[in-house]
């Protein structure tokens, strides 16, 4: 089974703090993704990476950056956290086969910015 783990289930930070969210997958997948989920808005893609040291902006990259130094690890960075970044953050990974793009998700990190 694919396993995607996220460093924290719950996190509380203060406005202006730098926040790191870590994600690790154990299936040697090339692709990794960061989403945020908000009520009534579904899952929105923040950033994704299709290879080590590669990154692409998703639909809502503003206020975020990412790092992928190793294939299995993808980090989301909030340079200066703001209250509107309070959300559920979800990491996912996939192996693009050319036919299917099934993504497998971690358990999520509920981030609260005070």
Partner 1 sequence: DQQVKQNSPSLSVQEGRISILNCDYTNSMFDYFLWYKKYPAEGPTFLISISSIKDKNEDGRFTVFLNKSAKHLSLHIVPSQPGDSAVYFCAASATSSGYSTLTFGKGTMLLVSP
Of residues 3 and 18, the one with the C-beta less far from partner 1: 3
Among 27, 41, 52, 114, binds partner 1 (CB under 8 A): 41
Binding mask 59-88 for partner 1 (x = CB under 8 A): ------------------------------
114 binds partner 1 (CB under 8 A): no
Q: HSE-up of 45 (CA within 13 Å, CB side)?
A: 13
Environment class of 104 (CB within 10 Å of its CB; exposed 0-12, middle 13-18, buried 19+): middle
The answer to whether the CB of 23 falls within 8 A of the CB of 106 is yes
Cα–Cα nearest to 108, from 90, 92, 93: 90
Interface residues toward partner 1, by CB under 8 A: 4, 9, 31, 33, 40-45, 48, 50, 56, 58, 90, 92, 94, 96, 98-108, 110
């Amino acid at each position: 089974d694919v396993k995607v783990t996220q460093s924290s289930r719950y996190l509380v930070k203060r406005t202006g703090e730098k926040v790191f969210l870590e994600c690790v997958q154990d299936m040697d997948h090339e692709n990794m993704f960061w989403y945020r989920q908000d009520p009534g808005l579904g899952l929105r893609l923040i950033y994704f990476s299709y290879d080590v040291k590669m990154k692409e902006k998703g639909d809502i990259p503003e206020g975020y950056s990412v790092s992928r130094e190793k294939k299995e690890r993808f980090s989301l960075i909030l340079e200066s956290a703001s209250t509107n970044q309070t959300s559920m953050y979800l990491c996912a990974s996939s192996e693009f086969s050319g036919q299917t793009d099934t993504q497998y998700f971690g358990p999520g990190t509920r981030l609260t910015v005070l």
